[in-house]
Amino acid sequence: MSAEGSNISHCINCSIRNCELLNETNSKFCFQCDQFPCHKITHIDKRYRTKYKTGLIQNLRIIKEKGVEAYLLNEVKRWTCSSCGAALSVHKDNCLKCGEKYSDPLFREINN
């Protein structure tokens, strides 16, 4: 769902989503900017690493290095329960389906 469709004002008004530097250069990713990582993304990255077990700067660096498709394939593997195959939640540290506790997937990159 797009941010406009969700009616969530902080997403619609997000300073990263609406970054004037990205708009000026017609870039799709922050890593394409000469100022990457800027204070805007550094600030939100810290919150996401702590609260949601995912690092935006790390994710963007992986996309830059390996491409979007490889990044997405890794994310599917990284956020899938190794015990039952269910999708893992960033909000929990155990599988919602089987209850298996999983290690913090923040820096777990799957290479298979």
Is the model's pLDDT at 91 over the cut of 90? no
Tell me the two tokens of residue 98: 């089987």
Mean pLDDT of 103-108: 55
Q: Cα–Cα distance between 20 and 57 in angstroms, integer?
A: 19
Within a 10 A sphere around the Cβ of 1, how many other Cβ atoms?
A: 8
Burial 56-95 (b: 16+ CB within 10 A, else e): bbebbebbeeeeeeebeebbeebbbbeeeeeebeeeeeeb
Nearest Cα neighbor of 78 from 39, 29, 111 is 111
* Residue 70: predicted pLDDT: 94
* Residue 1: predicted pLDDT: 43
- Using a cut of 0.75, tell me whether the model's pTM lies above it: no
**CB–CB of 53/104 below 8 Å?**
yes
* Residue 51: predicted pLDDT: 82
Q: Which of 12-21, 28-37, 68-77, 84-93 is predicted with the least confidence, judged by mean pLDDT?
A: 12-21
